Chains A and B, each alone.
Chain A
Amino acid sequence: MKQHWMVRALSKTLTLFPISFSSSRACSSHSSSFAIKNVTKSNFDSSLSDLRRHVRDSDFVSIDLEMTGVTSAPWRESFEFDRYDVRYLKVKDSAEKFAVVQFGVCTFRWDPTKQSFIAHPHNFYIFPRQEVGGDARSYEFLCQTSSIDFLAKYQFDFNVCVKEGISYLSRELEDEARSQLHSAHEDELPESPCAMKAIKDVPLVRMADILFVERMKNKLNEWHDDLLQVRNGGSSRIVKDSNASIDQFETIFFRMRPAIKLNGFTSRQLRLIKSIVEKSFKDLAYIRVNGDSCSQQIIVYIDSRRDLELLMKEVKESLCKESEMKIGAAIGFRHVIDLLSSEQKLIVGHNCFLDIAHVCRKFLGPLPSNLEEYVTLVHKNFPYIIDTKILLNASNILQLKMKKSSTSLPKAFAIICPHIASASGLAHTSSVAVEVQVDDMRSSNWNSGAKHEAGYDAFMTGCIFAQSCKHLDIDFTNSHSSNLNLNLIKQNKLHNYINLLYLSWSSGDIVNLNTAQTTTESSVFKIQQPKIPFQNIALIWGFSSKLKARAIKEILCKVFGLTSVTSVYHLDKTAVFVQFSNPELVSEFLEMKSSLEKKKNDAIYVFHPLSELLEGGHTCAASYEAYKQICGSPVSKVLFADQAEAVGVKVETIKAQQSVCFHNLDTKKQINCQSGFPKGEMLDVVSC
């Protein structure tokens, strides 16, 4: 950990010196390390225009995301017993609840003259700051304590993220904001500002108010008369105004009309001024315009009613335009996603199903409720995605290279790209050279070493992919003959791997984004697990905390026979999956449980082996479908038993039909509750 810190500190100091990389080849022998391109609010616009160019020229783009968490409850973690639809619901829940705080984008372009890839790694700090109006709730996010701790361990800078992070607006929210703006715009147009909008008179109660009103009346009169005098060719007295009132009454020109800018009044005073203007001056109009940071009150001189209407229309239009601009500006980081989507480049990720789900949720809109629709959505926006984890596990050539090692990103990087991963790693003839460019700095031996930083992770992913292509015998050297780009998408050798993503790495479920079909991985190296028969699985929760998996298995075996239970698997300490040897046993079990619960007071109950499982009276059981229903709920309680209760799944029948039952609120008890507190009155004066 300390080492990481040192490396980063070093790279920071390095960037301070104007090292001139006149020839990138010259320093390729040393492992050079300069800081990755960090993009925040302040340099986003300039970086975006560079990135546009890089993406357009690129052969592929690798991405990686850092999130504030992965699972909103322990039982939502990835299990072997996840059916593909359940797995999708879990990923959907994760993408809906957690925020993306760092987004790594690394473009790779093959440079035939250098016989090397040119990579441009970018590390975007993003933060879901709400820039335009609308529902604050859609910006709220969850933090998983352990993930935050993990990020902190790898020196993630939360201050930069919150203060400098780039905000974004999803396509859905943008459309919403625009339609809201238009409806508001249409609403207001027919209403002229002077239309008899019941303006509440501010009652002049206090002496100070009355004096103030008189003073203001005089001031305005003076200004008004002066104005007319100037118009009629008289001399101006405005110049002679005292210093103090210049502060408060600034004469300006507002849309070619003389006007007073009101500064430093309280809101009450402003209201008083407004009523004076409306009551006593026919040719003055009081309007509010949005200034740079706050709204600004202005009194404008108008020639006629028509002029006023014209003015109001102008003001409204500019307001509207301004809001449009604001919405446009709020799009922020989504421009990057739009760019990736519109350029239809090959997108490379490492075990990136969750990453893609985040991209869709954060930058497109709500995720569909089922996997098939989701896949269509992804495919429409990102037609070519390749997952290096799939590649490493599915290709026999690469599996040989990996030598059964873990395919986690840092491990895979170290094995596949030793020449980049470490300074001592020797370059073979088969090694693919990657030259990194950050702004003006170049290095063919770059290593920032900042693991779990999205930008660097994206770079590693891209390097693995480039090297893997080489291992798969894809020829970079002359494939660009017709086109400047490599056209990797059309490569037959990659065809079998494109658009396949691990739905769940642990169960080896793969989804095909072209067809929305799910398959289970078959590979020589991975031990083939038998397909889990989900209809054989029952879910039990709410039992006594003393019962462990083995005890539950013993109890069930006593009732249904020694071979009846294949396995018992803990979701958490309050719930288990029980895999029976055949589906009939599931219904038999559920039936027996419910019938047994009905005769709780019988002697049979006490001696029945199942009674131990039912002890406490909170034990519930259901078929696998209930698990799907519970996973689909937006609620996330830490313990599964609490979750099931909150979702309100009650399963009693044999077929395990679930009836959603929101617990009836005992209203009568509510009202009757009396407590010892005195029924004293507190009269409240409240403005709503």
Chain B
Amino acid sequence: MPSFPMVWRRFLCTQTSNFSFFNQKPAAVRRPQWPIKQVTKSNFVDSLDEIKNHISESDFVAVSLKNTGSYSSPWHRILPFDTAETAYLKAKYAAERFQILQFAVCPFSIRASNKLTAHPFNFHLFPRDELKTGMPCYSFSCQPSYLASMARDDFDFNLCINDGISYLSRAQESAAKIQIENPVSNDYVTQSPSSRSVADNVFVERIKSKVGHWISACTRSDTRTDDALVNSLRKLILGGEDYGSRPSLNIDVCSERQVQLVFEMVKSQYENVVPLTIPAKGGGTQSVRVVLTSSKEDRDLFKTELQDIEEEQSKRIRGFREVIDLISASRKPVIAHNSLNDFAFIYSKFLSPLPSTMDEFRSSLHSAFPDVLDINHLMKEVGPLSKYNNLPSAISYLKRNFFAPIEIEIPQKASIEENKNHGHDAVRISELFAKLCSILKITHDNGPSSLKRHLNVFNQGSNGFLDEGDDISIWTHNPKKISIDNLVFIWGFRGGISAGKLKNLLCNSHERLSEDDLFDVRLVDKNCAVVVFWKSGLSEWFLAAIDSGEELRELAAEGFMGAGYEAYRRVCKFEVLGADLADSLAECRVLEGGEVESDEVYWNSELMINFDDL
């Protein structure tokens, strides 16, 4: 029982209200079993009200996603030498291809510095084409290793595919509304009464008399009790039909202008008539339907009925996005782990297609989620944590080094059946956040101000993207920022060589490189390495030398190739990121030809290191 003391400790410090400790299998001891509400299509509507209340009552919302993959090749990961821009491009690439299968949302509050009240939900998603419009997505990529690891966690793929909740992004919703023909009672904004032409007046008069005729016929039939045959005949002649229990009449229109005229006329002339637009296929208005209500009360009733129908329809269209909208509308700080990746996914699936630059992404994400907080960023405040960039190791690091007991209270009841209880990461994130707040002395009372400086730092694992420039920090023992100008990508060496050997090789290749501590080498993948020169200017010489093959003849003869950071940037913008960075860089050079040089001159002058910043 080597693991017993650990469990005991957790039992003491994170006692949950219905933490069933004794009937768990040994394997489950490692991960706590919090009661997390599992939401699928069947219980989505009920859960929506519940989570709505919890979000509005909580201080924070933690989110965590389970995707079908993240990166396909080692270099597709966000690496320490990525700038904000290239990191975003990589995150975008992943978000556009892979799919979210689980979305855990945990609204939580921290009371009295160590009491965490959480309401975790785990939503199962599947991008089913519910409306037969080819949305939300035509296809998505999967990485077998991701699916296999989900399978090991007893993820139920059948449940997910059969009963997962579908969704449409905001952009897709507006596109879908056009495709689904549904009467809309949008109150036509009465534009400034523009001068009516003669044709307009003729049209209005014609419609007015038609509607008047129809109304009088309808009301007359109310007083007399005719037999069904007469009624239906009248209907046939008048061209009216029933809309629900109320009589209605369709008026054909040829333009949006006429729609407006009909609306104006009806509003001014007939109090108890409600006009609706019937959308045409592919946008525009096909006709206007006027519905006769019996009284003012009935009219209001009818209008609310319409609104309800519309709301219902929208809900069906939005699906899971409703939850995203709730979080967004609450303006509560959203806590995530690896926020750049997660929010790239959230943005592309639930808002709109991802913009092409980081800046656009940042600003439009900001309008939807004003406060995003990355756990990784907070982690950096308490220690050199680049190694602890996964949740369990971060938690265990904090456990070892700090005393910050957190009492987790989960008031809700949910099944904690082991194989059906997913979405723990969201609770872990909130736990970690509470711990960090307690360590960093961020309390809710001074929350807004003390949290502010941690917000919206899109922080991926190791690199902070707050810095706008292209200076990056490379590795552990040398935490100084260097300009990306000093980076050179090399390839063409024998696969499987170690970084140390490669460095030796370079050192011995030329006397200018033989000095100590002049540069460092790291492998990106097995065929490509990045060389960082600690002194500026050397990278340009190196690139030129390796290209011309004169000064670095031996390397060139061995097939060594080199490229500057600009080539890497271009490669990150490719439509398809190649499997092998070396191949992509080589392809990029072929495509761009000699252009690289001219650019270099430009960005060299711009991007000197600012030593004052260091």
Contact A635 B575 (CB under 8 A): yes
Contact B142 A163 (CB under 8 A): no
Chain A proximity of B359: nearest CB distance (Å): 5
Knowing A128-B144, A685-B384, A686-B475, the reply to whether A187 touches B496 (Cβ < 8 A) is yes
Stretch from B150-158, B193-201, B543-551 at the A interface: B150-158
* Neighbouring A residues of B362 by C-beta, 8 Å: 675, 677
- Of residues 126 through 144 on chain B, the ones whose CB sits less than 8 Å from some CB of chain A are 127-129, 134, 137-144
The proximity string for A residues 668-687 relative to B, scoring 1 for CB distances below 8 Å and 0 otherwise, is 10111111011111111111
Among B139, B144, B150, contact of A140 (Cβ-Cβ < 8 Å): B144
Does A212 belong to the interface (CB within 8 Å)? no
* Neighbouring A residues of B150 by C-beta, 8 Å: 162
Contact B614 A681 (CB under 8 A): yes
* Neighbouring B residues of A638 by C-beta, 8 Å: 134, 138
The proximity string for A residues 648-688 relative to B, scoring 1 for CB distances below 8 Å and 0 otherwise, is 00000000000000100101101111110111111111111
Knowing A159-B157, A184-B496, A674-B468, the reply to whether A139 touches B463 (Cβ < 8 A) is no
Contact B137 A145 (CB under 8 A): yes
Chain A proximity of B133: nearest CB distance (Å): 12
Contact A670 B481 (CB under 8 A): no
Interface size on A, residues (CB 8 A): 65
Does A72 belong to the interface (CB within 8 Å)? yes
Contact A140 B468 (CB under 8 A): no
In the complex formed, the residue of A with least CB distance to B472 is A684
The proximity string for B residues 366-389 relative to A, scoring 1 for CB distances below 8 Å and 0 otherwise, is 000000000000001000101100
- Of residues 133 through 159 on chain A, the ones whose CB sits less than 8 Å from some CB of chain B are 135-146, 148-149, 152, 157-159
Contact A140 B466 (CB under 8 A): no
The proximity string for A residues 109-149 relative to B, scoring 1 for CB distances below 8 Å and 0 otherwise, is 00000000000000000011110000111111111111011
Chain A proximity of B257: nearest CB distance (Å): 18
Knowing A140-B143, A142-B140, A686-B476, the reply to whether A667 touches B566 (Cβ < 8 A) is yes
* Neighbouring B residues of A545 by C-beta, 8 Å: 282
Does A482 belong to the interface (CB within 8 Å)? no
Chain A proximity of B99: nearest CB distance (Å): 8
- Distance of A683 Cα from B158 Cα, bound (Å): 45
Does A198 belong to the interface (CB within 8 Å)? yes
Contact B473 A677 (CB under 8 A): no
Does A69 belong to the interface (CB within 8 Å)? yes
- Of residues 64 through 107 on chain B, the ones whose CB sits less than 8 Å from some CB of chain A are 68-69, 72-73, 79-80, 85, 99
* Neighbouring B residues of A148 by C-beta, 8 Å: 161
- Distance of A634 Cα from B496 Cα, bound (Å): 28
The proximity string for B residues 479-508 relative to A, scoring 1 for CB distances below 8 Å and 0 otherwise, is 111000000000000011000100000000
Contact A163 B138 (CB under 8 A): no
Contact B127 A152 (CB under 8 A): no
Chain A proximity of B578: nearest CB distance (Å): 9
Among A72, A162, A673, contact of B157 (Cβ-Cβ < 8 Å): A162
Contact A152 B468 (CB under 8 A): no
* Neighbouring A residues of B227 by C-beta, 8 Å: none
Chain A proximity of B601: nearest CB distance (Å): 11
- Distance of A371 Cα from B470 Cα, bound (Å): 47
Does A425 belong to the interface (CB within 8 Å)? no
- Distance of A74 Cα from B142 Cα, bound (Å): 19
Does B443 belong to the interface (CB within 8 Å)? no
* Neighbouring B residues of A686 by C-beta, 8 Å: 80, 386, 462-463, 473-476, 479
Knowing A74-B134, A674-B468, the reply to whether A163 touches B151 (Cβ < 8 A) is yes
- Of residues 3 through 40 on chain B, the ones whose CB sits less than 8 Å from some CB of chain A are none
The proximity string for B residues 394-409 relative to A, scoring 1 for CB distances below 8 Å and 0 otherwise, is 0000000000000000
- Distance of A678 Cα from B481 Cα, bound (Å): 16
Contact A688 B475 (CB under 8 A): yes
- Distance of A536 Cα from B145 Cα, bound (Å): 48
Among A143, A634, A647, contact of B140 (Cβ-Cβ < 8 Å): A143
Chain B proximity of A111: nearest CB distance (Å): 39
Does B467 belong to the interface (CB within 8 Å)? yes
Does more than half of chain A's interface fall in helix, strand or loop, or is it mixed?
A: loop
Does B236 belong to the interface (CB within 8 Å)? no
Contact B143 A136 (CB under 8 A): yes
Does A73 belong to the interface (CB within 8 Å)? yes
* Neighbouring A residues of B363 by C-beta, 8 Å: 675
Contact B73 A137 (CB under 8 A): yes
- Distance of A286 Cα from B151 Cα, bound (Å): 37
- Of residues 456 through 473 on chain B, the ones whose CB sits less than 8 Å from some CB of chain A are 457, 462-464, 466-470, 473
**Residue of B69, B138, B569 contacting most chain A CB atoms (<10 Å):** B138
Does B515 belong to the interface (CB within 8 Å)? no
- Distance of A144 Cα from B68 Cα, bound (Å): 13
**Residue of B144, B362, B606, B607 contacting most chain A CB atoms (<10 Å):** B144
* Neighbouring B residues of A672 by C-beta, 8 Å: 606
- Distance of A74 Cα from B575 Cα, bound (Å): 19
Contact B151 A144 (CB under 8 A): no
- Distance of A129 Cα from B162 Cα, bound (Å): 23
Does B52 belong to the interface (CB within 8 Å)? no
Contact B148 A667 (CB under 8 A): no
Knowing A140-B69, A145-B128, A685-B476, the reply to whether A680 touches B466 (Cβ < 8 A) is yes
- Distance of A73 Cα from B139 Cα, bound (Å): 8
Contact B158 A158 (CB under 8 A): yes
Does A183 belong to the interface (CB within 8 Å)? yes
In the complex formed, the residue of A with least CB distance to B383 is A685
Contact B470 A688 (CB under 8 A): no
- Distance of A130 Cα from B72 Cα, bound (Å): 13
Does A646 belong to the interface (CB within 8 Å)? yes
In the complex formed, the residue of A with least CB distance to B480 is A683
* Neighbouring B residues of A143 by C-beta, 8 Å: 68, 99, 139-142
* Neighbouring B residues of A99 by C-beta, 8 Å: 142
- Distance of A546 Cα from B281 Cα, bound (Å): 11
Does B428 belong to the interface (CB within 8 Å)? no
In the complex formed, the residue of B with least CB distance to A97 is B139
Chain B proximity of A226: nearest CB distance (Å): 27
Contact B80 A684 (CB under 8 A): yes
Chain A proximity of B405: nearest CB distance (Å): 24
Contact A137 B579 (CB under 8 A): yes
Does B591 belong to the interface (CB within 8 Å)? yes
Does B357 belong to the interface (CB within 8 Å)? yes
* Neighbouring B residues of A163 by C-beta, 8 Å: 148, 151
* Neighbouring A residues of B466 by C-beta, 8 Å: 677-678, 680, 682
* Neighbouring B residues of A130 by C-beta, 8 Å: 144-145
- Distance of A135 Cα from B581 Cα, bound (Å): 12
Does B306 belong to the interface (CB within 8 Å)? no
Contact B139 A152 (CB under 8 A): no
Knowing A665-B573, A680-B466, the reply to whether A135 touches B73 (Cβ < 8 A) is yes
Contact A683 B479 (CB under 8 A): yes
Contact B463 A679 (CB under 8 A): no
Does B522 belong to the interface (CB within 8 Å)? yes
In the complex formed, the residue of A with least CB distance to B72 is A137
Contact A635 B576 (CB under 8 A): yes
Chain B proximity of A623: nearest CB distance (Å): 23
- Distance of A146 Cα from B467 Cα, bound (Å): 43
Q: What are the nearest 8 A-B pairs in CB distance?
A: A682-B464, A158-B157, A684-B473, A137-B72, A686-B80, A687-B476, A137-B579, A688-B522
- Residues of chain B whose beta carbon lies under 8 Å from any beta carbon of chain A: 68-69, 72-73, 79-80, 85, 99, 127-129, 134, 137-145, 147-148, 150-151, 156-158, 160-162, 282, 357, 359, 362-363, 380, 384, 386-387, 457, 462-464, 466-470, 473-476, 479-481, 495-496, 500, 522, 566, 569-570, 573-576, 579, 591, 599, 602-603, 606-607, 613-614
Further 11 A-B residue pairs, CB within 8 A, beyond A138-B579, A149-B128, A184-B496: A68-B142, A135-B73, A136-B73, A148-B161, A152-B161, A162-B148, A183-B495, A668-B602, A671-B603, A672-B606, A686-B386
- Residues of chain A whose beta carbon lies under 8 Å from any beta carbon of chain B: 68-69, 72-74, 99, 127-130, 135-146, 148-149, 152, 157-159, 161-163, 183-184, 187, 198, 545-546, 634-636, 638, 646-647, 662, 665, 667-668, 670-675, 677-688
- A–B Cβ pairs within 8 angstroms, 9 of them: A127-B147, A136-B145, A139-B145, A671-B603, A675-B468, A679-B469, A683-B473, A684-B462, A688-B80
